């Protein structure tokens, strides 16, 4: 028994490394998040000091000074405070408060607190003669420029009210409105900028087709670094092993965004490394060619409802962040979705948030975990296809060819719909990368492109 235990530990460690599909991360170019951060310094008359405004990052965590300790030293330079806030954001949610020390000329402490935010906000860090203060505001900031060319922050709102754009409506994105007021207190000019400093004009935006990727678990090394629920335009975790490029080539989207559905192993079917390890030990004892149908009971098919709901709720936050793309649209954009493993529950949360604002194209569900728990309204999609191993249908795959990481079950609701547009596609029996571990990994699903002929169920193509 002791020997089996040590084998178990070794198997868990080696296979968990296999689950960790990510390489070193790459910086994102476009980030959609619910919270924007601004830093500036104010002069004695309350106006903003020239060239002091910085917009360093968007995030989904709302971070500010601890409420009872708003006043802090004036000695902290703006770039130092930005670096401290950035450092704190990277440590959330493990630490929801953190104390920083400014070392010279004597130790001065200030404390930051943070939480995940599900709606659009702006956080302002403003330095005045009394020190730095933080303020939580709404997503549209209004500024006044007086006849002396002083810029003063006026108020915030969840709506964009503009004379030049002839609009007054609630928005999801973050904007700054600068109103120049003349000596007679009349409006002489108005400039509207988004968070990236792009000037907005009164123009109609054409509808777009988006491709959304929702990845699964990024491995045990990232166990304490769960999703920040940001929406980015690059595969920053290098999760997809260029499978995303093949989807992009087939679907030809206007823009592509990536969601991170990686949450703790506690949200999975196995719930712990030890439970996962017992299944791996059985694979070790019954390698390829042994351990047939009767050993399928070793696969944990018991759903994790609580974990699924955690991922679903996290996906809703990403959906809110994505809605920033939907301001100023006259016709609804179309969205295609690709999800893998844990990303299924996450994608459902995303769908729930955006469904009234977009048109859905196609959804490709790869090796989903806990797929029998919940569903979207699949009739909203042109097509929905599930790809993976056969565990529950007639003539199931033997134990050593199953998906041991996410035991496969039909996506809820998919099997009652038109089989020409919705259904399951099983991994080919002769596919070389098919086994209990590799068979789950996204790098093993190139068969979707290489073995499914055109006009067949599950074939990936764009419908205009």
For 42, 52, 128, 160, the CA distances from 47, given in Å and listed in that order, are: 5, 11, 10, 23
User: What is the pairing mode between strands 108-116 and 61-65?
Assistant: antiparallel
Question: Between helices 343-354 and 305-322, what is the axis angle to 10°?
Answer: 50
Q: How wide is the angle at C-alpha 346 spanned by C-alphas 114 and 425, nearest 5°?
A: 165
Mean pLDDT over 42-61 rounds to 96
Question: Which distant-in-sequence residues (6+ apart) come within 8 Å of 156 by Cβ?
Answer: 122, 137, 138, 139, 140, 141, 142
The CATH T-level fold of domain 206-450 is Rossmann fold (3.40.50)
Q: Can you tell me whether residue 68 is helix, strand or coil?
A: helix
Instruction: Determine the Cα–Cα distance for residues 74 and 356; give it in Å rounded to an integer.
Output: 47
Residue pLDDT, tens place only, 347-387 = 999 999 999 999 999 999 999 999 999 999 999 999 999 99
Q: Is the pLDDT of residue 3 over 50?
A: no
Q: How confident is the model at residue 207 (pLDDT cuts 50, 70, 90)?
A: very high
Q: What is the pLDDT of residue 4?
A: 47
Token pair of 421, please? 């547009």
Question: Which distant-in-sequence residues (6+ apart) come within 8 Å of 361 by Cβ?
Answer: 209, 334, 335, 336, 381, 382, 462, 463
Where does 233-358 show beta strands of DSSP type E?
A: 255-260, 334-340
For 35, 321, 350, the CA distances from 228, given in Å and listed in that order, are: 12, 11, 14
Question: Which distant-in-sequence residues (6+ apart) come within 8 Å of 238 by Cβ?
Answer: 22, 23, 24, 25, 26
Residue pLDDT, tens place only, 109-124 = 788 899 999 999 999 9
Q: How confident is the model at residue 242 (pLDDT cuts 50, 70, 90)?
A: very high
Token pair of 320, please? 């809110």
Residue pLDDT, tens place only, 33-47 = 999 999 999 999 999
Residue pLDDT, tens place only, 74-118 = 778 899 899 999 999 988 888 878 777 766 555 567 888 999 999
- Give the 3-state secondary structure of 430-461: CCCCCCCCHHHCHHHCCHHHHCCCCCCCCCCC
Q: What is the pLDDT of residue 294?
A: 59
Burial string for 394-428 (b: 16+ CB within 10 Å, else e) reads eebbbbbbbbbbbbbbbbbbbeeeeeeebbbbbbe
Residue 63, φ and ψ in degrees, nearest 5: -120, 135
Instruction: Determine the Cα–Cα distance for residues 276 and 298; give it in Å rounded to an integer.
Output: 10
Instruction: Determine the Cα–Cα distance for residues 55 and 39; give it in Å rounded to an integer.
Output: 7
Q: Is the pLDDT of residue 241 over 90?
A: yes
Token pair of 140, please? 């549209």
Select the highest-mean-pLDDT range: 19-23, 64-68, 376-380, 433-437: 376-380
Query: Which position has the higher pLDDT, 9 or 454?
Result: 454
Token pair of 330, please? 């006259």
Which range among 238-242, 371-375, 460-464 shows the weakest confidence by mean pLDDT? Answer: 460-464
Task: Determine what percent of the chain is predicted with pLDDT higher than 90.
Answer: 62
Q: What is the pLDDT of residue 292?
A: 55
Beta bridge partners of 375: none
Query: Any idea where the domains of the chain sit in the sequence?
Result: 25-137, 138-203, 206-450
Instruction: Determine the Cα–Cα distance for residues 237 and 258; give it in Å rounded to an integer.
Output: 10
Q: Which of 179, 184, 135 is nearest to 161 (CA)?
A: 179
Q: pTM for the complete prediction? A: 0.90
Residue 353, φ and ψ in degrees, nearest 5: -75, -40
Q: Which of 114, 113, 133 is nearest to 73 (CA)?
A: 133
Q: Is the pLDDT of residue 17 over 60?
A: no
Find the helix or strand (DSSP H, E) in which 383 lies: strand 383-388
Q: What is the pLDDT of residue 44?
A: 95
Residue pLDDT, tens place only, 323-353 = 999 998 889 999 999 999 999 999 999 999 9
With beta carbons less than 8 A apart as the criterion, state whether 241 and 23 touch: no
Mean pLDDT over 52-63 rounds to 96
With beta carbons less than 8 A apart as the criterion, state whether 414 and 378 touch: yes
Mean pLDDT over 425-454 rounds to 90
Q: Is the pLDDT of residue 238 over 90?
A: yes
Per DSSP, 204 falls in state P
With beta carbons less than 8 A apart as the criterion, state whether 353 and 152 touch: no
Instruction: Determine the Cα–Cα distance for residues 110 and 397; give it in Å rounded to an integer.
Output: 59
Task: Determine what percent of the chain is predicted with pLDDT higher than 70.
Answer: 85
DSSP string of 396-414? PPPGGGS-SSS---PPTTG
- In the numeric block, the tokens 């009971």 are attached to 297
Instruction: Determine the Cα–Cα distance for residues 192 and 157; give it in Å rounded to an integer.
Output: 14
Q: Can you tell me whether residue 188 is helix, strand or coil?
A: strand
Q: Is the pLDDT of residue 204 over 80?
A: no
């Amino acid at each position: 028994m002791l020997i089996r235990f040590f084998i178990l530990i070794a198997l868990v460690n080696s296979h968990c490394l296999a689950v960790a599909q990510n390489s070193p991360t790459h910086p994102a170019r476009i980030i959609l998040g619910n919270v924007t951060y601004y830093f500036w310094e104010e002069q004695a008359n309350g106006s903003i000091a020239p060239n002091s405004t910085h917009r360093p990052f968007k995030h989904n965590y709302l971070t500010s000074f601890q409420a009872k300790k708003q006043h802090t030293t004036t000695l902290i330079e703006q770039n130092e405070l930005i670096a401290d806030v950035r450092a704190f954001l990277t440590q959330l949610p493990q630490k929801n408060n953190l104390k920083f020390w400014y070392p010279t000329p004597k130790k001065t402490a200030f404390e930051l607190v943070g939480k995940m935010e599900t709606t659009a906000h702006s956080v302002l860090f403003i330095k005045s003669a009394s020190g730095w203060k933080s303020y939580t505001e709404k997503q549209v900031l209004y500024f006044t420029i007086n006849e002396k060319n002083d810029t003063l922050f006026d108020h915030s709102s969840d709506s964009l009210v503009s004379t030049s754009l002839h609009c007054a409506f609630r928005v999801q994105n973050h904007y700054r409105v600068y109103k120049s007021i003349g000596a007679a207190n009349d409006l002489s000019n108005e400039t509207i900028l988004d968070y990236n400093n792009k000037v907005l004009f009164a123009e109609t935006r054409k509808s777009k087709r988006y491709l959304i990727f929702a990845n699964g678990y990024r491995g045990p090394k990232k166990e304490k670094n769960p999703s920040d629920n940001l929406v980015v335009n690059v595969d920053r975790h290098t999760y997809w092993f260029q499978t995303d490029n093949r989807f992009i080539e087939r679907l030809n989207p206007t823009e592509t965004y990536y969601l991170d559905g990686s949450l703790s192993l506690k949200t999975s079917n196995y719930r712990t490394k030890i439970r996962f390890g017992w299944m791996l030990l059985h694979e070790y004892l019954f390698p390829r060619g042994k351990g047939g149908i009767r050993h399928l009971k070793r696969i944990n098919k018991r759903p994790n409802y609580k974990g699924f709901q955690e991922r679903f709720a996290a996906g809703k936050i990403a959906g809110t962040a994505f809605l920033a793309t939907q301001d100023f649209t006259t016709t609804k954009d179309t969205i295609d979705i690709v999800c893998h493993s844990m990303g299924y529950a996450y994608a459902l949360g995303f769908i729930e948030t955006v469904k009234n604002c977009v048109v859905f194209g196609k959804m490709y569900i790869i090796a989903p975990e806990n797929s029998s728990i919940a569903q979207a309204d699949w009739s909203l999609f042109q097509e929905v296809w599930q790809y993976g191993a056969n565990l529950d249908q007639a003539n199931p795959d033997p134990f050593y060819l199953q998906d041991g990481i996410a035991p496969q079950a039909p996506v809820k609701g998919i099997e009652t719909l038109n089989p020409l547009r919705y259904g399951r596609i099983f991994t080919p029996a002769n596919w070389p990368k098919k086994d209990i571990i590799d068979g789950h990994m996204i790098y093993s699903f190139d068969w979707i492109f290489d073995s499914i002929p055109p006009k067949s169920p599950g074939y990936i193509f764009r419908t205009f």
